[in-house]
Amino acid sequence: DRLRLDDKVAYVTGGGQGIGRAFAHALGEAGAKVAVVDLVLAKAEAVVCELNLKGIKSIALAADVSKPEDVHRIVDTIVARWGTIDIACNNAGINMNSASEDTSLEEWDKTFNVNLRGLFLCCQAAGRIMLNQGYGKIINTASMASLIVPHPQKQLAYNASKAGVVKLTQTLGTEWIDRGVKVNCISPGIVDTPLIHSPELRPLVQRWLADIPAARLARVTDLQAAVVYLASEASDYMTGHNLVIEGGQSLW
């Protein structure tokens, strides 16, 4: 079965809740060992407990993906524990909401540090291991906001950072494919996770629903098969791709 991930070693950043948690479950159920990486160790540990109950081999690691020392530490830890990294899910991301004229440099930098610098650091560190072994699958989490400007969000830094995720994915995906490393991204629409229940985003949910042809928010379960596919040999001819899963929202 070309969708199985038996004996593969995976990590998921932002794996402590939401989309990352669902990715960790999906990869583990497909047979991979999973390192659950999160800024908050307790969240990662809770997910590892869930995975262990299903018989999935997993470890919890704390890291801020925007810090090179953290990224190198988790990569070294995974390699020391399981020998390599085959699947890297770079999913951690943050979302802040402010009118562009009021967006502070601090908000801009924080968003770019997590969403794009963090992705660069993780892709580079995991990518070096994958290039050495001549095999690897990198799956980045972008967003539908990489394609459209969702109305009426005020998310200049977020939208720009996610467009950057797609271009980073395309560039690495073409640069590394002839050495066996595939780099793709998933762009979800609006997904029902803790992220959208923040005080800033919560009031926008009703407005967003009117923009979604599917007439509902995405569920994390709508994304799980996609990450397994991109992590598996079934997608070996695919690289630099932005897999959009948004209930048709980017078409309206």
Give the residue with the Cβ less far from ligand NAD, 83 or 194: 194
Give the residue with the Cβ less far from ligand NAD, 83 or 213: 213
Ramachandran bin of 247, using left for φ above 0, alpha for ψ from -120 to 50, beta for the remaining angles: left
* Given the residues 11, 158, 229, 237, the one annotated as active site: 158
Give the residue with the Cβ less far from ligand NAD, 93 or 136: 93
Question: In the annotation, is 229 catalytic?
Answer: no
Site size for ligand NAD (CB under 6 A): 31
The residue among 138, 41, 37, 123 whose CA lies nearest residue 86 is: 138
Q: Tokens in use for 95?
A: 């979302």
Q: Tokens in use for 4?
A: 């199985």
Residues 8-67 that bind ligand NAD (CB under 6 A): 13-14, 16-20, 38-40, 43, 63-66
Q: Is 143 in the site for ligand NAD (CB under 6 A)?
A: yes
Q: Is 119 in the site for ligand NAD (CB under 6 A)?
A: no
Q: Is 240 in the site for ligand NAD (CB under 6 A)?
A: no
Rounded to a whole number of angstroms, the CA Rg of the chain reads 17
Residues 70-99 that bind ligand NAD (CB under 6 A): 91-95
Beta carbon of residue 183, minimum distance to ligand NAD (angstroms, whole number): 16
Active site residues: 158
Query: Could you list the residues that contact ligand NAD (CB under 6 A)?
Result: 13-14, 16-20, 38-40, 43, 63-66, 91-95, 114, 118, 141, 143, 188, 190-191, 193-196
